[in-house]
Amino acid sequence: MRRPYYIPFNAHPDDFPPLEQALDDPDGLLAVGGSLNINRIICAYLQGIFPWYNDDQPILWWAPSQRLVLFPEVLKISRSLAKTIRKQKFSITMDTHFEDVIEACAAPRDNQNGTWITSEMQAAYYKLHQHRLAHSVEVWYDGRLVAGLYGVALGKVFFGESMFTRMTDASKVAFVHLVKQLQIWGYELIDCQVYTKHLESLGAVEIPRIEFGNLLDSLCKQQGKIGKWEIENVF
Q: How do residues 77-132 score in pLDDT, each as one tens digit?
A: 999 999 999 999 999 999 999 999 999 999 877 655 556 899 999 999 999 999 99
CB 160 within 8 A of CB 151: yes
Type of residue found at 9: F
How far is residue 21's CA from residue 63's CA, in Å, rounded to a whole number?
A: 9
Type of residue found at 162: S
Type of residue found at 42: I
Q: Which helix (H) or strand (E) is 80 found in, with range?
A: helix 79-87
* Mean pLDDT for the chain overall: 92
Instruction: Give the pLDDT confidence score for residue 110 in this predicted structure.
Output: 62
Q: What is the pTM of this model?
A: 0.92
**Along the 235 residues of the chain, how does pLDDT read in single tens digits?**
789 999 999 999 999 999 999 999 999 999 999 999 999 999 999 999 999 998 889 999 999 999 999 999 999 999 999 999 999 999 999 999 999 999 999 987 765 555 689 999 999 999 999 999 999 999 999 999 999 999 999 999 999 999 999 999 999 999 999 999 999 999 999 999 999 998 999 999 999 999 999 999 999 988 766 666 665 555 4
Instruction: Give the pLDDT confidence score for residue 216 in this predicted structure.
Output: 97
Instruction: Give the pLDDT confidence score for residue 2 in this predicted structure.
Output: 82
The domains of the chain are located at 5-64, 68-219
Instruction: Give the pLDDT confidence score for residue 108 in this predicted structure.
Output: 78
Evaluate whether 5-64 and 68-219 have a shared fold. Answer: no
CB 141 within 8 A of CB 208: no
Instruction: Give the pLDDT confidence score for residue 231 in this predicted structure.
Output: 58
CATH number belonging to the domain at 68-219, selected among 1.10.3720.10, 3.40.630.70, 3.90.230.10, 3.90.1150.10: 3.40.630.70
CA–CA–CA angle 141, 152, 204 (5° rounding): 75
Instruction: Give the pLDDT confidence score for residue 227 in this predicted structure.
Output: 62
Instruction: Give the pLDDT confidence score for residue 235 in this predicted structure.
Output: 47
Instruction: Give the pLDDT confidence score for residue 223 in this predicted structure.
Output: 73
What is the CATH architecture of 5-64?
2-Layer Sandwich (3.30)
How far is residue 180's CA from residue 225's CA, in Å, rounded to a whole number?
A: 14
